[in-house]
Structure 1
Amino acid sequence: MKATLCLTLIMGWIGFIGFTQSPVSNFLNSLHQTQLDKALFQFTDDSRESWHFFPASMLEKRGIQLMELSPSQKDFFHIMLKSHLSQSGYQKAMKIIDLENILLELEGNANMRDSEKYYIAFYGNPKTDAIWGWSFEGHHLSLNFTSIGNHVSFAPRFMGASPATILHGKRKGQRVLALEDDLGLELINSLDSNQKNEAIFRKTNFREIVTFVESKAEPLETAGINAEALDQQQQKLLWKLIYEYISAMPEDLAKKRIEDVKKEQPNNIYFGWAGATSSRQPHYYRIQGKTFLIEFDNTQNNANHIHSVWRDFNGDFGRDLIQEHYKKSNHN
């Protein structure tokens, strides 16, 4: 059911940790009622935990599309998005969207490839509700934020790139999600033969991230090499790779999150590999800890098509924060 929010109810809400109220309220205040009817839903709406990374022409998402916004409304939206991401996270998101223009040049399919077919949806009332969230989603991008009091969840978070390396035209050689690929390859190739035997748990790559678009990600079977079996330099590479995913968050929250992950201890974290160990050949890796999972594949289109995701086993869509909220409240 759509949330029956009025513009007058949007003003003046208190923001969550690290963010002022202005970016969200300014964006919502810029929308007219017909747009709000498209963008706002009840927090309990089934679509909140239904996510994907397909082109909108293949599987639409509820919400309002970028193409339905005026130039000034788009400005407000980008300010809001920047307030929820780090500079590098925002830049990655913009580069991912811009790849739709490259695909349009290559394929000529304007219905399938459109950088304006990205959806914005709000769940709950940011002014009156203790729990609310919003998402931004389209081809190769799914960003999901859930706010509970003074805390915010940033998962699940999917980023993809096709082409991962632009092979033709004025932008030839440009790469999106390069570090996610390069650091993984650097780490697997830093291992000695015994370590590689542990890390490579499958000779053939997966065609897709294993958790795909499941609403709730369950821990995968333990596979790969334990972080404690890595030497000091290899562990530095592993933490650098993990942080590359976390760093899409605002900087202060990213630093707090990497500290929390490190508290899980290296013996709870595994790095696993499947497929080739050289670039431009299909490969997949995962990093799994007690509370989180990273999956990465570069397998399609002659290993020039990346899918990557961060999942929180208990925290996707703010489930852990919601559970804690209800424990501390009078709700039963």
Structure 2
Amino acid sequence: MITSETPSLSRRALLGSIPVLGLLAVSACSSPTSPATPSATTTAASGAASASTSASSSAGSTAAGSVTQLAQAFQATLGNDLQAQLLQDYSLANAKLWSNLPQALLSGGMGGGPGGGGGTGPRVGLNLADLGEAQLAAFNKLLAAATGSTKGLGYEEIQQHLNADEYLAANGGGSDYGRTGYYIAFLGTPTEAGTWEFQFGGHHLAVANTYTNGSLAGATPSFRGIEPNGAFDYNGASNQPLAVKEAAFAALLAGLTADQQSQAKLGKTYSDLLLGPGQDWAFPTTEEGIQASGLSAEQKKLVLAAIAGYVNDVADDDAATILKRYETEIDDTYVAYSGTTALTEQNDYIRIDGPSVWIEFSMQRGIVLSGNHPHSLWRDRSTDYGGTKA
């Protein structure tokens, strides 16, 4: 377990001041946490009133409480200068600007490839550090609506994730880490007609939800990594952002018999993700591992639970729809791993490869801290970037 004394409140900690969410184990029974209204040291940008009028008039018949409406409401809190940073062209080139690396390491652009950070340059959009109190409150409502209410996943996981990057900043990472390294972009204009993407990301995090005619068209690529891994204390509360995902993977492998584990074991070592940043649509053409059609009903449930650990990072109704599709494809889905079944050692690796779903989890060496930490990724063969390929 990784713990520390409560750090003094830095500019990053004051930014947003989102209440720290305690560690939520798989069996937690506390009630869901509503999006909190954060405080901030910056003030709202000028022109917010006129922006609000403009956004309201463009909302039209947008459903109250929908992601589109909340995106419009967030945009309305921004002045013209901040709106210009937020609103980017809807293009595949912009959609690909996500990475697992801190923004400072992307300033010169980096090539794709496993372990390389991927992408073609720095993230676009509005820096989280530039939002004032009302703007942060509006953003958190949007983020909660887009990422769902499942305990320990979605919105809750992201808040703990931001706490983890603050922890890194205070424990050796310095200014390259923390909430100030996260960016928000709308690729295209949020409306109920046409296509746009809600993009939010920074170190170890990529949210890329694409909406067409008001409905979710794709929620991938979706990247989740974390350092420190395991439980850590931040501002008096315990956090463990990837606890649910890691527990589901461990349960899946532990639920296989020794013979099934042998069938699932890959013949080579995987030191990072195959389909990380910059590796779009590079899905292997040959399945490896054990096919779920040969598993028992209970073992199939374990596979689906591991998949749900990623799908439930999107809005609840959308997640249920996606999970139904993946469940219909379960018999043609494969599970494969390398390293140990504990998934705690460097180069431990697991993947789930189906007709649509692709999920990878890879244990890496520590960068800022000693010990290991995971990278993980959810992709979809047909709906990555909302299906946009050009």
Same fold (TM over 0.5): yes
Match of 2:4 in 1: none
- Structure 1 runs of 4+ aligned residues shifted over 3 Å read 6-9, 14-18, 166-174
Residue 375 (structure 2) pairs with residue 307 (structure 1)? yes
Q: Is the 8 A contact 1:202 1:275 kept in 2?
A: no
Aligned to 1:182: 247
State whether residues 284 and 296 of structure 1, in contact with CA within 8 Å, keep that contact through their aligned partners in structure 2: yes
1:272 equivalenced with 2:336 (yes/no): yes
Q: Which runs of 5+ in 2 are unaligned?
A: 1-49, 107-121
In the other structure, the counterpart of 1:290 is 355
| Shift of residue 104, structure 1, vs aligned partner | 1.8
Q: Does 2:10 match 1:10?
A: no
Q: Tell me what 2:281 maps to.
A: 217
- Structure 2 residue 192 is matched with structure 1 residue 141: no
CA RMSD of aligned residues (A): 2.5
SS class of match (2:228): coil
Q: Which runs of 5+ in 1 are unaligned?
A: 1-5, 324-332
CA shift, 1:135, in A, is 0.2
Match of 2:147 in 1: 85
Aligned equivalents of 2:384, 2:255: Cα separation in 1? 32
Structure 2 distance, partners of 1:200, 1:160, is: 23
What does residue 327 of structure 1 align with? none
Q: Is residue 208 from structure 1 mapped to residue 272 from structure 2 by the alignment?
A: yes
Change (3 A) 1:203 1:277: farther
Return closer, same or farther for 1:277/1:21 CA change in 2, 3 Å cut-off. closer
Instruction: Measure, in 2, the Cα distance between the counterparts of 1:169 and 1:123.
Output: 33
Query: For the Cα contact (< 8 Å) 1:136–1:143, is it kept in 2?
Result: yes
Q: Counterpart of 1:116 in 2: which secondary structure?
A: helix
1:317 corresponds to: 385
Q: Is the 8 A contact 2:357 2:379 kept in 1?
A: yes
Deviation at 1:102, TM superposition (A): 1.3
Out of 157, 160, 170, the residue aligned to residue 105 of structure 1 is 170
- Report the secondary structure of 2:105's partner residue: coil
| Alignment check: 8 A CA contact 1:10 1:127 kept | no
The whole-number CA distance in structure 2 between the counterparts of 1:48 and 1:169 is 32
Identity fraction in percent: 24
Matches within 5 A, 1:116-131: 116-127=180-191, 130-131=194-195
Q: Does 1:66 align with 2:128?
A: yes
Which stretch shifts more, 20-29 or 68-77?
Answer: 20-29
Q: Any conservation in 1 of the 2:68–2:214 contact (CA below 8 Å)?
A: no
* Deviation of 1:16 (Å): 7.4
**Using the alignment, how far apart are the partners of 1:251 and 1:168 within structure 2?**
29
TM-score, normalised relative to structure 2: 0.74
1:133-173 deviation line (CA, Å, top 9, x unaligned) = 22001011100111111421211111111111146788797
Q: Give 2:298's aligned residue.
A: 233
1:294 Cα shift?
0.4
Partner of 2:119: none
Deviation at 1:71, TM superposition (A): 1.3
The answer to whether the Cα contact below 8 Å between 1:100 and 1:113 also exists between their aligned partners in 2 is yes
Cα offset for 1:42? 1.7
> Once the 2 structures are TM-superposed, how far is the Cα of residue 66 of structure 1 from its aligned partner?
0.6
Letter of the 1:246 counterpart: V
